[in-house]
Structure 1
Amino acid sequence: MMPIFKKILNFYIESSLHVALAVYALIRITFLKLNIAYDESVAYFGFFGTIVGYNFIKYDELARVKKVVLTPTFKAIIGLSFIAGLATFYYFLELQTKTKWIGFIALFITIIYTLPFFPRKQNMRNWSGVKIYLVAISWVIVTVVLPVFDSNYAFDIVVLLKCLQRFIFVFVLLLIFEIIDLQFDSKKLQTIPQRIGIKQTKYLAYLLLVVFIAMDFLKPHISQIHLTTTISIAILIAVFTFFANAKRNKYYTSFWVESIPLFWLLLLLVL
């Protein structure tokens, strides 16, 4: 029974379904935080687009350069990505014209992140020190800017703070990933833990989480529920950061850390 469950869990993670749910949760959180009516097209465009984008990023080089053997799991992921691609296109057509441009920007970032954009240069994923910022920005675009633009919500100081807060949220989660991946990452990547060490990286994460909470107090109106959930999620991230080390297995980040947006959404819905 356990081997079957593990295979299902691995496929769920490797096919990017879990990270897509995290993106979907963050889009829903944006709707709730800004009191915007739920828009199915935006939420599902983010969900299915994440499956396509992440699988393209993860498996492009394997299929295009390394010519790996197509295992049943790999074929299933390709099939799922194809279906997700059709769904992404359908929901893309449902978006407003100005929102479509935001979608194009997200697509452009995915392409330059994955494919070599300049002659004799590696893709931006392998540029030293760039990866973490590029990923955080793309998540802000999809999970905050996209729903705001499509709902015709005014891009005011609250939205700006929300973008900065979301950037910090994703950035700190990525710091945990970089700590865990320290044993695998090439030193050429110059990740933050490689440059300043694990201990200093954790201190940086704790400092950013304080800023993450403080941003709620900068908003014109502070909701007690939203403040409570912000503090709770910051504490949860701090705990995961504290116990992060290079010896943790892949489930620590790929499942548990990526589940934090789902916990956040659940907490908001319950409260």
Structure 2
Amino acid sequence: MKLHLPYDEAVAYFGFYGTIVGYNFIKYDELARVRRVPLTNRFKAIIGLSFLCFCATLYYFWQLQSITKWIGIGSLLLTVLYTIPFFPNKSNMRNWSGIKIYLVAIAWVAVTVWLPVINAHYSIDLIVVLKSLQRFILVFVLMLIFEIVDLQFDELYLKTIPQQIGEKRTKWLAYGLLFLFVLLDFFKPYVSKQQFFVNTFFALVLGIFTFYANSRKNKYFTSLWAESLPIFWLVMLLVFER
């Protein structure tokens, strides 16, 4: 929508089904492989759903342009290495100090910016670079909200940003990044009033969520409300930028 690219079914569904597969793999692989959690009916249903989504992901993967497939393969490797150690008896990337937030943001940029851009043979210009930076910042701030709320649960060896610089400084970091997120619009050759409004308003909403985030919040603050922010962003795009 932002780059006025034509709708591409292969890109859309590869991203959709691939996200389900990647998320479930990261979330449940350790439970099944390391902790040996019993295979309940619910667990079996999740495995079945993931397998069906994997088949769909593979189907749409083969419909991507050759160069785009390498982005898909790179995203797959990130997902696997995030969960399974690259070397025996070594920790996976999930447990590397402070790296999780950057991996998640990079994965978002790869799938939601570079995948559709490259598959459509859109030239890599200044707008694409700026949108990539904005997308990275957006997801980074979203992850900061989760890390603030999860301060009470995260192990110290993870060295999340709130663990290293504290809750208050993390919030100021988020505010600064949100300001940069909006500021980057002014470096684009052209940005519509609608797009600038959506970006500014969404940055304000993220700022409000950041302000109210703390380690005493209940699980619904992140697992429901913060998780739904990208959906809210999509609704705004559909309403104001069509």
For Structure 1 versus Structure 2, the TM-score category normalised by the shorter chain is: over 0.9
Partners of 2:39 and 2:178 lie apart in 1 by 42
TM-score, normalised by the number of residues in structure 2: 0.97
| Comparing 112-121 and 57-66, the one that deviates more | 112-121
Q: Residue in 1 aligned with 2:160? A: 191
Aligned residue runs from structure 1 range 93-242, under 5 A = 93-242=62-211
- Report whether the alignment pairs 1:39 with 2:8: yes
- Report whether the alignment pairs 1:85 with 2:54: yes
Partners of 2:116 and 2:67 lie apart in 1 by 11
* CA deviations over 1:154-199 (Å, ceiling 9, x no partner): 0111101111100000000000010111111100000000001111
Structure 2, unmatched stretches of 5+, are none
| Comparing 213-222 and 259-268, the one that deviates more | 259-268
Secondary structure (helix, strand or coil) at the match of 1:33 reads: coil
Read off the aligned partner of 1:69 and give its amino acid letter.
P
The structure with the largest helix share of the pair is: 1
* CA deviations over 1:208-249 (Å, ceiling 9, x no partner): 000000011110002111000000100111111111111222
- Report whether the alignment pairs 1:251 with 2:234: no
| Comparing 244-253 and 172-181, the one that deviates more | 244-253
TM-score, normalised by the number of residues in structure 1: 0.87
Which of the pair has the greater relative contact order for Cα pairs under 8 Å at 6+ separation?
A: 1
Aligned residue runs from structure 1 range 55-66, under 5 A = 55-66=24-35
Q: CA deviation at 1:142?
A: 0.7
- Structure 1 runs (4+) deviating above 3 angstroms are none
Percent identity among equivalent residues? 62
Partners of 1:106 and 1:254 lie apart in 2 by 24
Number of residue pairs the alignment of both structures matches: 240
Partners of 1:239 and 1:71 lie apart in 2 by 40
Q: CA RMSD in A?
A: 0.9
Structure 1, unmatched stretches of 5+, are 1-31
Secondary structure (helix, strand or coil) at the match of 1:121 reads: coil
Secondary structure (helix, strand or coil) at the match of 2:190 reads: coil
